[in-house]
Structure 1
Amino acid sequence: MRSLPRILGLFSLVVLASCAPANSDLSSGSNDSSDSDVTISFIHWRGEDKEAFDSLINEFEDANPGISVDMNIYPSDQYQSQAQTLVRDGSTGDVFTSFPGAQFDALNKIGAFADLSDGPFLDHFEDSLIEAGQKDGVQYALPYQLVFNQPVYNVDIFEELGLDIPRDWDSFLEVCQTLLDNGYIPIAFPGADIGPGQLMNSMVMNNAPDEDIFEKLQAGEVKATDEWWVKTLTQFKELEDLGYFQEDSLGTQHPAAISLVAQEKAAMLATGSYAMAGLLEQNEDLNLQLLAPITVDESDATYEGIHTTTFMLGVNSQSEHPEEAKAFIEFLSEKEPASEYANATGQHLTVKELDYETDELRDTADWMDKNTRFQPRFLITNADVEQALISSIQDVIAGTDPEDAAASAQGIIDQHID
């Protein structure tokens, strides 16, 4: 099931996250494993979560004196390109993480994941939120984070200008124009890294409401030159041509885009809920919420927004310490450690009945009950196809005609038809 179900009301305090890249090349946990019987390796890409994980690892080691955890953190782009190499021989990553979609599929094809289907810790998770870690009925990984991949906006700026949340494409453009007329950058767009791949989710969700659209694209049943993708590219170009992105958006990386919003120079950030904690670190007075651009008439809209279950925890099939690795995952999925992690990092989780305490999580609680769609981009299982689509977005922002950009993308996709 890819739509976020209303059974999320089962959470005790249901309140609200891509993968923001770490800023250092490599960061290690400081735990001394010299006196431990077993040391397990834990690798991931969430550099901003290091402090939270250091604390949790200390708690786990105190409760399990025979096990030490050695944590290594990689930048997200490096992790995406090197994860297969890192985990292949089992010498690192007894517990490792995966993005859903193309990376999960690639890791699964090389047999990197141990089967977790019989793990008692499965009962700690909402069943409907861990399906991204399944393949052919087997639970290979456990998505840990629940994030909303859609723009974050400054509530106070919207209220200052009397702006309502737009319900269709025309009203979204009107909101952007009002922001521009009043001296604000409407949308901080990190076009140099994650912006195109993030904003495409909410831009395409109602232009192509068929949740199997990218599976069909990879099978040759639909094309990027069809109306659904050409329209999406046309709307990206419209945002650029009307000046609703900041100057040199294709040269802007995510940290710089975050700073534009934190300094209240920009009213929206075109990434997702996972950026909210970073925004509040820079400006604790921000009042933040989420919105998704509706690219069709309100009466034609199927979805209100985008959700993703990511940061998928797996056990290396080549690990020499699989039971200790599973024990660490079980610990992370228990209510108190999971609540601690959620509140320290500003992340909603897929774990049941957590106690969410921070303002940014509570303020976005209503998105748990909205009709959101699982992030379409993560349903693209071929990395070359994904990159072709992202590049077509960058191309139209750089000035390429949408139909030409779509044709160029389709030429690459044709080389990878399943």
Structure 2
Amino acid sequence: MIAKASSILAMAVLLVMVLSVLSCSDMEQSKMEGGNSEKQVEQVTLIYSSYLLDKAQASKVYYDAIAEFEAQNPNIKIEADFIQNAGYMAGVKIRLLGGVQMDVFDTWSPSLFEEFRKLNNNIYLDLSGLTISNDFVPNSLKPVTIDGKVYGVPEVMHSDGLLYNKTMFKELGLSVPQTWDEFLELCDKVKRAGIIPIAMDSDWSTPQFFWGSIMSNNGADEEWTRKLEQGEIQISDPIFVDAIQKHKEIIDRGFVPTGWMSMKHEQSKDLLGQGKAAMMITGTWDIPSIMERNPNIEVEFMMVPGEKQTVPNINVGTYRVINAKTEHPEEAKKFVSFMNSKATQQKLADGALAVPSVISADSTNPVVANIAALVTREDAKLYWPHTVSTESLQVKIQEGVNKYLAGESLELTLEEIQQAIDSVRE
């Protein structure tokens, strides 16, 4: 009996030792795999830099989209890096040249895309392999395609010109003008009613949306810009001079606020939203923030009418790109594919009242339908200032026009702008 008991005890001790070894092995394996029985997926953080992420503006749809992406991809966190419009070009350049982590970022025009590319020809990651590249409207990828490779993808589309208080138009019996003369008559009528015809401000980028639209009416396009920059035509060409003179005319006739040179863009929005102005110089992207100021009015877009023709212009609101130096290229591609997909673009379009650049995307919003009917017309042209080769040159042209609108002589303005164009070619 004693021998049998001893044998049983020995077997028990051996079993405990085996279990102990197995337990230690499991604990060691658990430590090696981060404390879980299954290997954890690496957590990745992507820095997304954009001018679209201003929480004070109508950017909630972008944060909602980011949250949805993170929910679908729990191993990827998106860190939003908001840079204001006015300092966006410099902000991105500082980050890129300073080696600050930037994974995904936005450009608002082909010229800004080229501006960043001049820092380094290999600054962008090749996105040719993204399956969504086949879904965009014709030619939308052309500005970001280099030697047959695609380096950016378009988001929603806008148009530039005038927003107007549709509710006020109905109350005053006003109609959307179809010609330049009709437009001037409309402004006269509104002014006589004691209302500011056109809200306009001094923010450097604002005036371009008016005279830049007239450039399209006058026939300016990518080919015209190429000839201008190559010296085949001068800035004194009637296409340009007529556009800025028409803009000066609405100032000289008192159709804009008397203190426009000291006004900011948000103040222009206030004038339109509060019913103190009938129209406003801007683009369709401002509709949501104006509607937030006064949900009781209808705000819609109108083209700046021309003398012989009125041509809609297309402003691709954003081209999304990936920094070639990102340490997480596959995760960045996944994020871009999500943000620029049909499903997300439809949500962004409804929230921002814009037109999806995805062919099969659609929107039931009547305001968006109105804009879509314009930017998809066969005669629609790429918004003229965005055809200028770089953002730096575009800014110099805009600043020259702003001086003219503020009182500088036409001759001096044209001379200064021509010098800026010539200096780039030298």
TM range (shorter): 0.7 to 0.9
Report the CA distance shift for 1:37/1:185 in structure 2 as closer, same or farther (over 3 A): same
Q: Tell me if 1:95 matches 2:95.
A: no
Q: Is the 8 A contact 2:314 2:381 kept in 1?
A: yes
Q: Aligned to 1:414, which of 385, 397, 422? A: 422
From 333, 352, 358, give the equivalent of 1:326: 333
How big is the shift at 1:36?
A: 5.8
Match of 1:21 in 2: none
| One-letter amino acid of the counterpart of residue 194, structure 2 | G
> Partner amino acid for 2:48?
F
Q: Does 1:289 align with 2:300?
A: yes
Are the equivalent residues in 2 in contact too, given 1:250–1:394 (CA < 8 A)?
no
Equivalence map 1:135-150=2 (5 Å): 135-150=146-161
1:273 aligned to which of 245, 262, 284: 284
Cα distance 1:68–1:274, how it changes in 2: closer, same or farther (>3 A)? same
Once residues 384 and 42 of structure 1 are traced to their aligned partners in structure 2, the CA distance between those partners, rounded to angstroms, is: 23
What runs of 5+ residues in structure 2 fail to find an aligned partner? Answer: 1-40
Partner of 2:93: 84
Q: Which amino acid aligns with 1:92?
A: Q
Q: Do the aligned partners of 2:221 and 2:387 also contact (CA within 8 Å) in 1?
A: no
> What per-residue deviation string (whole Å, max 9, x for no partner) do you get for residues 186-244 of structure 1?
11112323212222221211224344222222111111122222222221221111001
Task: Give a deviation string over 1:89-121, Cα, whole Å, max 9, x none.
Answer: 764221111122322002223122111112112
Equivalent residue letter for 2:84: P
Task: Tell me the residue number matched to 1:219.
Answer: 230
- SS of corresponding position for 1:268: strand
Contact 1:186 1:267 survives alignment (8 Å): yes
Give me the whole-angstrom Cα distance separating, in 1, the residues matched to 2:399 and 2:345: 37
1:118-197 alignment, distance < 5 Å: 118-197=129-208
Contact 2:177 2:183 in 1 (8 A): yes
CA distance in structure 2 between the partners assigned to 1:354 and 1:398 by the alignment: 42
CA contact (8 A) 1:194 1:271 kept: no
Secondary structure of 1:277 counterpart: helix
Query: Is residue 132–residue 143 contact of structure 1 (8 Å, CA) maintained in 2?
Result: no
Distance in 2 between the 1:296 and 1:279 partners? Answer: 29
SS of aligned partner of 1:209:
coil
Per-residue deviation at 1:62? Answer: 1.9
CA distance in 2, matches of 1:275, 1:97: 18
Q: Does 1:106 pair with 2:112? A: no
Equivalent pair of 1:125/1:352 in contact (CA under 8 Å)? yes
**1-structure distance, mates of 2:99, 2:76:** 17
2: distance between equivalents of 1:414 and 1:364? 37
CA deviation profile, 1:220-274 (whole Å, cap 9, x unmatched): 1111122222222221221111001111222222111011000111111111100
Equivalent residue runs for 1:12-411 within 5 Å: 37-46=43-52, 47=54, 48=57, 50-88=59-97, 91-109=100-118, 110=120, 111-297=122-308, 301=309, 303-370=310-377, 371-411=379-419
Paired residues in the alignment total 380
User: Structure 1: how far apart are the matches of 2:327 and 2:96?
Assistant: 12
Q: Is the 8 A contact 2:114 2:391 kept in 1?
A: no
Deviations 1:249-300 (A, max 9, x none): 2222211101100011111111110010111011112222222223323xxx
Q: Counterpart of 1:18?
A: none
2-structure distance, mates of 1:88, 1:404: 36
Q: What amino acid does structure 2 have at the position aligned with 1:204?
A: M
User: Displacement of 1:363 after TM fit?
Assistant: 4.7
Distance, in Å, in 2 between the alignment partners of 1:315 and 1:142 is: 10
Which moves more between the two structures, 312-321 or 389-398?
A: 389-398
In structure 2, relative to structure 1, the CA distance for the partners of 1:50 and 1:365 (3 Å cut) is closer
Deviations 1:318-371 (A, max 9, x none): 011000000011112333333222222323221233342445324544324433
Please, what TM-score do these two structures have when normalized by structure 2? 0.83
Which whole-Å deviations, capped at 9, do the CAs of 1:45-76 have from their partners, x for residues lacking one?
11135432322222212211221111111101
Task: Using the TM superposition, give the Cα deviation of residue 392 of structure 1 relative to its aligned residue in structure 2, in angstroms.
Answer: 2.8
Which residue of structure 1 lines up, in the alignment, with residue 21 of structure 2? none
Distance 1:205 1:385, change over 3 A: same
Distance 1:144 1:369, change over 3 A: closer
Q: 1:369 to 1:401 in 2, by over 3 A?
A: same
Does the 8 Å contact 2:125/2:323 carry over to 1?
yes
Residue 22 (structure 1) aligns with = none
Q: What letter corresponds to residue 96 of structure 1 in structure 2?
A: F
* Paired AA for residue 272 in structure 1: G
Give distance in 2, aligned partners of 1:180 and 1:83.
Answer: 43
Which one has the bigger helix percentage? 2
Name the CA shift for 1:88/1:140 in 2 (closer, same or farther; >3 Å): farther
Deviation, 1:146, is 0.3
Aligned mates of 1:168, 1:49 — CA distance in 2: 32
Do the aligned partners of 2:205 and 2:398 also contact (CA within 8 Å) in 1? Answer: no
What's the C-alpha RMSD, in Å, of the aligned pairs? 2.2
Q: Aligned partner of 2:391: which letter?
A: A
Query: How far does residue 379 in structure 1 lie from its aligned partner after superposition?
Result: 0.8
Identity %: 24
Tell me which amino acid in the other structure corresponds to 1:102: S
Higher relative contact order (CA 8 A, sep 6+): 1
* Contact 1:203–1:232 under 8 Å retained in 2: yes
- Unmatched segments (≥5 aa) in structure 1: 1-34
